[in-house]
Amino acid sequence: MTLPSEGHDLVKSERKEAGCTEDGHEEYWQCSKCHRFFSDEEGNTRISEPKVISKTGHSLKKVEKKEASCTESGYEAYWKCQNETCQRLFSDEGGKTGINQPKEIKATGHKYEEPAYIWSADNLKCNAERKCTACDDVEMETADATVTVVQEKNCILPELTMFHVTFKNDVFEGQTKENVKTAEATGHDLEKVEKKVANCTESGHEGYWKCQTCEKFFSDEIGTAEISNPIEIKATGHNLEKVEKKAASCTETGYEEYWKCQTCGKLFSDEAGTDEIASLDDIQIPAKGHEEGNEWLSDAEKHWKECAVCQEKTEEADHVYVNETDTVCEICGYERTIKSEVPEILEGHNGKWQMNSGKTLSFRSSAPFAEFISVTIDDVVVDEKNYDKAEGSTIITLHPEFLSTLSVGTHTLSIDSASGSAATEFTIEEATAEPSITETPSVTPTTAPSATTAPSATTASTAATVTPTPTASPETKAPKTGDESNVAIWMLLLFLSAEGIIVALQKSKKKTR
Ligand SMILES: [Zn+2]
Ligand SMILES: [Zn+2]
Ligand SMILES: [Zn+2]
Ligand SMILES: [Zn+2]
Ligand SMILES: [Zn+2]
Ligand SMILES: [Zn+2]
Ligand SMILES: [Zn+2]
């Protein structure tokens, strides 16, 4: 600075800006000697005092109230001076009450609803949850349940189980689910017990059903009507019928009167049915036995005595003789008349045997076998090799080889025994199926050929085959001469009788052999 001539010593004061609450001033100068003020640095323009720059006042801006949340605090509305150099805070619009900081509104904290507890379908887990009504914050915890069966299942009751959970978070209370049905009742395992019919002394019962598990009784098949015991069917008692006393006879036992149950068949000796008897033997009345007479009675075959009570025959037996000629019974004195018995043929009367049949021919004599002597045919004794003899009384069976040597016709057979001979006729018949039989009728009418009829029959058959049939027949059939045919027949007959004689001779030879 340059000092003016007058000699002021000017000191500059810099411009001072005005504040919100304090005035400022323009730049000025002041003399340190005379303390005068000047608006220029040369000291030309003197001023009474520095030119004031008026204070501005605060430039307030409102900051709106901020609400607190559950977890965050807020603040009341306030005003802040926008001036760079001030920036002070005020609780009022007019900027009168300065504050150091906004007035805080405390955080509210969550406002939870009551917790909700949700069990899983199987009740093994439970989920606890609560929610803040203000901020939707959720607290949650899942816990495993402890499982306790409080009732075992049986025929009629289901299985009941208790589930319980506790939570680590204290805000959640322990939860319990009681009597949860975890299994159905098994139902009765019924088995039918058939009706038992009562008898005389033992009671029975109606049919019923019994549970194999709980052993309860039921009167129905589905086990709804329980009964304490099977329904008894009382014993019927005996149905007694009296059987009158039966007196004993000579040979048959009798019995005392007794009572028999018509139902069970048991026997009792009393009307009340208390004294049972095992069998009628216990009340038997023994047989008295016959009261034998002393006299022997008899007929031609036997002798016997008679009971005086029942007239039954006793000691009946055949008469006893010392030998075959003895006529008086050793026991009873019966006298017999002995008639000598001549044996007779019992079987094989007029027997027939056919040539070439290969069969045997049998005869039976009534003579005892021991008395057998011989067999004769046509009064000739037959060699024993030609027959079999057997006992019963005497049976003779002629061999076929022997029979075939006999002539066709009737013979007489005799079985000779010590007591006599039994005789019968028998017939040897010619073999069947001979073609010549057609010729026989032409022969038969002629009764001429004498001797026995049998030989003629035999010869007829043999002759017919051999004889001059060829010559005879054409002549016979020729209508002209009846004489010629008659001659032929006579010729034939002559021939035949000659044959017959030859055969008869042969036969007699054989017999003697
Ligand atoms: Zn001055
Ligand atoms: Zn201010
Ligand atoms: Zn909240
Ligand atoms: Zn049961
Ligand atoms: Zn009975
Ligand atoms: Zn008697
Ligand atoms: Zn006698």
The residue ranges of every structural domain in the chain are: 10-53, 116-183, 190-233, 240-285, 342-433, 436-513
Cβ atoms of 305 and 293 closer than 8 Å:
yes
Pairing outcome for strands 208-211 and 190-193:
antiparallel
The closest ligand to the CA of 314 turns out to be 6
Cβ atoms of 43 and 10 closer than 8 Å:
yes
Q: Compute the distance from residue 315 Cα to the ligand 6 centre, in Å.
A: 12
Q: What per-residue confidence (pLDDT) applies to 470?
A: 41
Q: Compute the distance from residue 248 Cα to the ligand 5 centre, in Å.
A: 28
Q: Compute the distance from residue 114 Cα to the ligand 3 centre, in Å.
A: 14
What does the DSSP 8-state code read for residue 308? T
Pairing outcome for strands 351-354 and 420-429:
parallel
Q: What per-residue confidence (pLDDT) applies to 314?
A: 86
Measured CA to CA in angstroms, residue 323 lies from 13, 47, 114, 403 at distances of 212, 221, 142, 41
Q: Compute the distance from residue 323 Cα to the ligand 7 centre, in Å.
A: 14
Q: Can you say whether residue 131 is alpha, beta or left, with left for phi > 0 and alpha for psi between -120 and 50 degrees?
A: beta
Report H helices in 162-220.
none
Q: Compute the distance from residue 190 Cα to the ligand 4 centre, in Å.
A: 7
Q: What per-residue confidence (pLDDT) applies to 459?
A: 40
The closest ligand to the CA of 213 turns out to be 4
Q: Which residues pair with 398 in a beta bridge?
A: 361, 387
Q: What per-residue confidence (pLDDT) applies to 444?
A: 40
- Print burial letters for 94-107: b (CB count within 10 Å at least 16), e (below 16): ebeeeeeebeebee
Q: Compute the distance from residue 78 Cα to the ligand 2 centre, in Å.
A: 14
Contacts of 494 (CB under 8 A, 6+ apart): none
The closest ligand to the CA of 235 turns out to be 5
Dist CA 493 CA 371 (whole Å): 48
Phi, psi of 147 (to 5 degrees): -110, 125
Measured CA to CA in angstroms, residue 224 lies from 5, 208, 306, 412 at distances of 143, 12, 80, 104
Dist CA 386 CA 363 (whole Å): 14
The closest ligand to the CA of 292 turns out to be 6
Please tell me whether residue 279 adopts helix, strand or coil conformation: coil
Please tell me whether residue 283 adopts helix, strand or coil conformation: helix
- Tokens 């006529």 belong to 327
Q: Compute the distance from residue 212 Cα to the ligand 4 centre, in Å.
A: 6
- The third-level CATH classification (topology) of the domain covering 342-433 is Immunoglobulin-like (2.60.40)
Pairing outcome for strands 78-81 and 60-63:
antiparallel
> Which residues are within 5 Å of ligand 1 (an ion), measured at CB?
8, 31, 33-34
Q: What per-residue confidence (pLDDT) applies to 323?
A: 85
The closest ligand to the CA of 299 turns out to be 7
The closest ligand to the CA of 21 turns out to be 2
Dist CA 400 CA 424 (whole Å): 19
Closest alpha carbon to 88 in 99, 104, 75, 77: 99
Q: Compute the distance from residue 267 Cα to the ligand 4 centre, in Å.
A: 45
Q: Compute the distance from residue 508 Cα to the ligand 1 centre, in Å.
A: 234
Q: Compute the distance from residue 487 Cα to the ligand 3 centre, in Å.
A: 172
Q: Compute the distance from residue 32 Cα to the ligand 1 centre, in Å.
A: 6
HEC states along 75-144?
Answer: ECCEEEECCCCCCCEECCCCCCCEECCCCEECCCCCCECCCEEEECCCCCEEEEEEEECCCCCEEEEEEE
Q: Which long-range contacts (CB under 8 A, 24 or more apart) does 500-503 make?
A: 500/449, 500/451, 500/455, 500/456, 500/459, 501/451, 503/407, 503/455, 503/458, 503/459
Q: Compute the distance from residue 129 Cα to the ligand 3 centre, in Å.
A: 14
Is the omega angle on the peptide bond into residue 393 within 30 degrees of 0, that is, cis? yes
Cβ atoms of 382 and 401 closer than 8 Å:
no
Q: Compute the distance from residue 260 Cα to the ligand 5 centre, in Å.
A: 8
Rounded average pLDDT per 10-residue block, the chain, 513 residues: 67 94 94 93 92 94 96 96 92 94 95 96 96 93 97 95 96 96 94 94 94 94 93 93 93 93 93 92 90 87 90 90 87 82 88 91 91 92 94 92 92 90 92 54 41 40 39 41 52 56 49 43
Q: Can you say whether residue 240 is alpha, beta or left, with left for phi > 0 and alpha for psi between -120 and 50 degrees?
A: beta
The closest ligand to the CA of 307 turns out to be 6
Contacts of 273 (CB under 8 A, 6+ apart): 237, 238, 240, 259, 261, 266
Q: Compute the distance from residue 101 Cα to the ligand 2 centre, in Å.
A: 15
The closest ligand to the CA of 315 turns out to be 7
